Amino acid sequence: MSTLELQPLLAEVSRHWLDLAPHAVRTIVRTGDVVFREGSSSNVVHRIEAGLFKVTVETSFGAQPLVVALRSSGWLMGSAAVLMRARHMTSAIAISDSVLSSVDAGLFLRALNQSPDFLAAISRLHAAKLYDRTLRMRLLTLSSAESRVRLLLSLMARERRPGDDSPCWRLQALPHTELAHVVRLTPETFSRVLTRLERRGLLQRSGGWIMLTPAGRTQFDRERLEWAGEGADLIRIKESLDRGQ
């Protein structure tokens, strides 16, 4: 789910990544595989060639890790920790069979030092991610529960399984508690929204899987684009209200 149009920035980073491609290791990652864990050393930068990953942080008292983001094709993982020369602050786990292109941290940093344009592109991407995260958190306070769920399903539906030609798009089977965390809803509210959408013919559920019908896919995509375009206006409205104007 994104409130900014990040695709141009991802495309710019991808163009520079082509220079690293001859040195990159291409890896097939299976569903459930952990790419890196919170607290581990950061010595590799990964680019997602295909697939979907959840980004999690540990919680206290033995509770389940909290899902804080989803990452799909074109995203880099591990670059922030490498730039900061710090340990990973999050874990990255595949929630679909995926493909990664990975380079050594030293090679990645040398490439940035040798290419001011690449460095600028990475800097803009990280700045946009920070701005997007802040804006998304604020928009979640303005959007209805159903709108949040629709946007989440739209993101998850972007990565269709190869060879899947069924009319319904099957999404990755994630526990509803994790999906609810992403959009800051309780599992009970999340389940009620899914039930409403299912009754309207926008999705189907079977064995823990969520499947978007053709009508659901079309509607969720349209609303995602409208929401992204209106995000700044919603924030300006709320800021005006906060100032008492």
For the entire predicted model, the pTM comes to 0.67
Looking at residue 162, its pLDDT comes to 45
Please tell me the total count of domains within the chain.
2
**Would 150 be classed as within a structural domain?**
yes
Here the CATH number for the domain that contains residue 182 is 1.10.10.10
- 149 and 87 fall within a common domain: no
Which residues of the chain fall below pLDDT 70? 1-7, 61-63, 132, 135-143, 155-174, 223-245
Closest CA to 81 of 53, 35, 45: 45
Its domain, for residue 76, covers: 7-137
**Would 233 be classed as within a structural domain?**
yes
Instruction: Label residue 5 left, alpha or beta by phi (over 0 means left) and psi (-120 to 50 means alpha).
Output: beta
Q: Which of 118, 137, 156 is the last residue before a domain boundary? A: 137
Here the CATH number for the domain that contains residue 54 is 2.60.120.10
Looking at residue 151, its pLDDT comes to 72
**Would 156 be classed as within a structural domain?**
yes
Q: φ, ψ for residue 188 (rounded to 5)?
A: -65, -45
Q: Tokens at residue 62, please? A: 């033995």
Contact indicator for 132, 228 with CB cutoff of 8 Å:
no
Looking at residue 71, its amino acid is: R
**Would 193 be classed as within a structural domain?**
yes
Buried b (16+ CB within 10 A) or exposed e, 174-208: bebebbbbbbebeeebbeebbeebbeeebbeeeee
- 92 and 149 fall within a common domain: no
Looking at residue 227, its pLDDT comes to 55
- 13 and 122 fall within a common domain: yes
- 16 and 128 fall within a common domain: yes
Q: Tokens at residue 43, please? A: 């010595």
**Would 46 be classed as within a structural domain?**
yes
**Would 145 be classed as within a structural domain?**
yes
